Copies of this chain bind each other. A is one copy, B any other.
Amino acid sequence: MAKDKKVEQITDMEVDFAQWFTDVCLKAQLVDYSGVKGLFILRPYGYAIWENIMNYLDRRFKELGHENVSMPVLIPESLLQQEKDHVEGFAPECAWVTMGGSEELPERLCVRPTSETLFCDHWSHVCHSWRDLPMKYNQWCSVLRWEKTTRPFLRGREFLWQEGHTIHATPEEAMEETEQMLEVYADCCEDLLAMPVVRGSKTDKEKFAGAERTYTVECMMHDHKALQSGTSHYFGDGFARAFNITFADRNNQQSYPHQTSWGMSTRVIGGLIMTHGDNNGLVLPPRVAPIQVIVVPVAQHKPGVLDKASEVYEALNAAGIRVKMDDSDNSLGWKCAEYEMKGVPLRLELGPRDIENGVCVAVRRDNFEKITVSLDELTAKIPELLEAVQQGLFDKAKSNLDSHVFTARSLEEARQLQEENGGFIRTMWCGELDCELKMKEEAGMTSRCIPFQQEHLDDVCAVCGKPAKHMIYWGVAY
């Protein structure tokens, strides 16, 4: 046994959820701190999770006809200022480049906080005719937002994301795109990450700077706080007018195209951690796990054990499973703790007696169930078990979500329900900013979304008692 390795302890999530989260991020080797506050290093294991998310999204985007591009990392201040709502939203948190080499720049340049202005500027050069539309672009990059408080994944001054940007000949087509891309995010959360979502619209207060409408998928974390996991924006032709993007339509009339943008970021990995993790560390759904199965030989010095373990490894690898074998001289206990910390969905233990019996023991990370699997059936059974873990995690998260949506008919009731249970508090709402601000002030909750699936809970707004327009979800959010 290696002397330099010991099982790492993490804070109990019931004792201090925030500290538990940070511990998991560090001990599962997802991130490291850099020398600049709020700029995090994604270590190989953390980045591999992001790669799996990227692969899923990139495939979906391309199937829907999107093309990847690369826009500059710097935006001239004058370009950022061209759309007034947009610059108001982003300028306060821009990082500014003012020197190039030893020379002061004639105009300062911000490190992109988002790239609408760059896409618009480009489109104003290359969009001429209805034949050029739609233009459906995406880029994978990092963006900078100079936040005051920062946490790994959840709030960084730099984060990785994709930003999709499209222009269309008609508002209907752009709106369809906005809705379609939200569905892709919902699928990514639910099918890949086993994170059930609530789909809805943001209120005017919470929508993206410069957007006419913002759609969101909201997830619920283990501690019953909310996390906005992906957003999709409809801009109408506001940016097109501000940037003078025009095209000749089929009747040769100059028109403004209608625009969308949509983004998902490494923030969703924070959500993944807080949805499925437990006091032993990370718990990863198999479809996004960099390692789906870890093979751990037991009593590996005994004759035949390592050979058989290698056979098992090879068979699973050939079956397309992301499998790893740990035949290091670390102790069995250390190995178990290590791969539990890293959230590997299945651990396969294989010792001399198992080999005699032609079996191995699969241990599920999500519920620690031990399943004896015949070695003959391995390549059929393991994918089934992985699917069971995936489904099990989704079901658990879904039941956590469903059991934490509460209905309130007054602000006071809403406040109390949040205080006692957390979760989403749903009320009717008149649609006025004043009531939204009051909910924030007096019950500490922001509006999460106006769900697409509306229910009629009451005739009047829970805050002001005036006629209600929508059912809305409130919550405490990351």
Most B CB within 10 A of own CB, among A36, A108, A131: A36
Residues of B within 8 Å of A92, CB to CB, are 101-102
Q: Indicate if A137 sits at the interface (CB-CB under 8 A).
A: yes
| Least distance between A397 CB and chain B CB atoms (Å) | 27
Residues of B within 8 Å of A35, CB to CB, are 75-76, 79, 121
Do residues A36 and B109 form an inter-chain contact, with CB atoms below 8 A? yes
Q: Indicate if A41 sits at the interface (CB-CB under 8 A).
A: yes
| Least distance between A314 CB and chain B CB atoms (Å) | 16
Binds B, one of A7-15, A64-72, A228-236, A469-477: A64-72
Residues of B within 8 Å of A108, CB to CB, are 99
A side interface size, CB within 8 A: 60
Classify the secondary structure of A's interface with B.
Answer: mixed
- Pick the contact of A146: B48, B68, B100, B126 (CB < 8 A): B100
Q: Indicate if A44 sits at the interface (CB-CB under 8 A).
A: yes
Do residues A122 and B70 form an inter-chain contact, with CB atoms below 8 A? no
Do residues B96 and A70 form an inter-chain contact, with CB atoms below 8 A? no
Oligomer: number of copies:
2
Measured CA separation A79–B160 after assembly (Å) = 23
| Least distance between A420 CB and chain B CB atoms (Å) | 37
| Least distance between A64 CB and chain B CB atoms (Å) | 14
Measured CA separation A5–B43 after assembly (Å) = 49
Residues of B within 8 Å of A67, CB to CB, are 44, 47-48
Cβ < 8 Å to B, chain A residues 114-143: 118, 121-122, 125-126, 128-129, 131, 137, 141-142
Q: Indicate if A1 sits at the interface (CB-CB under 8 A).
A: no
Residues of B within 8 Å of A126, CB to CB, are 32, 43
